[in-house]
């Protein structure tokens, strides 16, 4: 596996960009917004996301721990 390149995020992201960052599909991002888990800015019919809101969303998600080839949720 080659080196991982980390690029700075633009200040505002589209739904597709957030989905790519989270490695999920755009409907999943839309569900996070609908469930008030992720903050979005509505501009006409489009949604935009502030990079700091997306990074906070990632930081506050529950983490998982691998043991014996199985994934388990860590308890807080």
Please report the pLDDT score of residue 14 as a whole number. 96
Is there a domain that residue 21 lies in? yes
**Domain tally for the chain?**
1
What is the number of helices (H) and of strands (E) in the chain? 3, 5
Is there a domain that residue 32 lies in? yes
Q: How far apart are CA 37 and CA 21, in angstroms?
A: 16
pLDDT at 72 over 70: no
Is there a domain that residue 4 lies in? no
The residue ranking higher by pLDDT, 17 or 66, is 17
pTM of the model: 0.73
Is there a domain that residue 47 lies in? yes
Is there a domain that residue 26 lies in? yes
Please report the pLDDT score of residue 76 as a whole number. 52
Please report the pLDDT score of residue 7 as a whole number. 74
Is there a domain that residue 40 lies in? yes
* Tokens found for residue 37: 């888990």
Those residues whose C-beta lies under 8 Å from the C-beta of residue 53, and which sit 6 or more positions away, are 38, 39
State pLDDT tens for residues 10-38.
899 999 999 999 999 999 999 999 999 99
* Domain, as residue range, for 52: 12-60
């Amino acid at each position: 596996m080659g080196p991982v390149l980390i690029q700075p995020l633009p200040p505002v992201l589209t739904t597709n960009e957030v989905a790519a960052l989270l490695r999920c599909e755009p409907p999943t991002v839309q569900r996070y917004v609908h469930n008030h888990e992720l903050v979005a800015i509505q501009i006409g019919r489009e949604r935009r996301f502030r990079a700091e809101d997306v990074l906070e969303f990632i930081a506050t998600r529950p983490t998982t721990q691998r043991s014996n080839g199985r994934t388990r949720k860590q308890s807080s």
